[in-house]
Amino acid sequence: MSETANRETAWAAAGAAAAALVPDRGSVGLGTGRAAAAGVRALGARVAAGLHCRAVATSVSTTSLARELDIPVTRLRDQLDVAFDGADIVLPSGLAVKGGGGAMVRERLVADRSRRFIVLVDAPKVGSSLDEWGYLPTAAVAFAAHLVMDRLSDLSPSRRPGRSDDGLAIIDVHPPAGADWTAIDARVRATPGIVDTGLFELDPGNVFVGAPDGSVRTLAGDAVRGPE
């Protein structure tokens, strides 16, 4: 099996385990990215089999996928039963970087409104240092983008083309090797014009690590049962 196929199998396993946690008549937050999409497809299969739920999507692309699968999509209002998403890299401690797809503002809002926030990864996404990823995505008010880049010039900021689904500028900053990412994150957040960053502190027990053999374990090492 190719590396791509192995990873897709791992994401599908983790996604199915997360989708199995959505209760009937419940609510779910849907993340953005390839691993999250695997969870959305698994949820779609449950909906097709008779599950009733309502979903809040974190991006235009996820909204489109959910609607293709007949998953009812609504706005973020009340607390959600569960949400699942992916990550760009996560450490064994649970410190993670998200936002490679530029959707971290909505992703954090959904995570904060969820009783349980699940992050779906495979083994290559588990690292020993955030330096392996190399950059911290940030979302800034477009009007302030040049100001933000000037203030953070020592972090080699680079602005991505276009804007996020919310009209925000996405600026990637590059902490130097060996830097304290938490301290840098605090500095970035204090910069006028910054709306959010992609640094997340996760519960290792809520990080589902899928494997090519279809098994799923949490980052804490506990086995996760898949759907019955």
Q: Among 3, 8, 68, 107, which one carries the catalytic annotation?
A: 107
Active site residue 107: yes
**Tokens of residue 137, six digits:** 């995505």
User: Helix 60-68 vs helix 34-48: angle between axes, to the nearest 10 degrees?
Assistant: 30
**Tokens of residue 67, six digits:** 């609607």
Residue 131 one-letter amino acid: D
Q: Rounded CA gap, 165 and 146, in Å?
A: 20
Distances (CA, A) of 74 to 22, 69, 130, 154, 157: 16, 14, 34, 41, 35
Q: Rounded CA gap, 15 and 44, in Å?
A: 11
Look-up of token digits 């791992």: 10
CB 172 within 8 A of CB 138: yes
CB 194 within 8 A of CB 179: no
User: Which residues are the active-site residues?
Assistant: 107
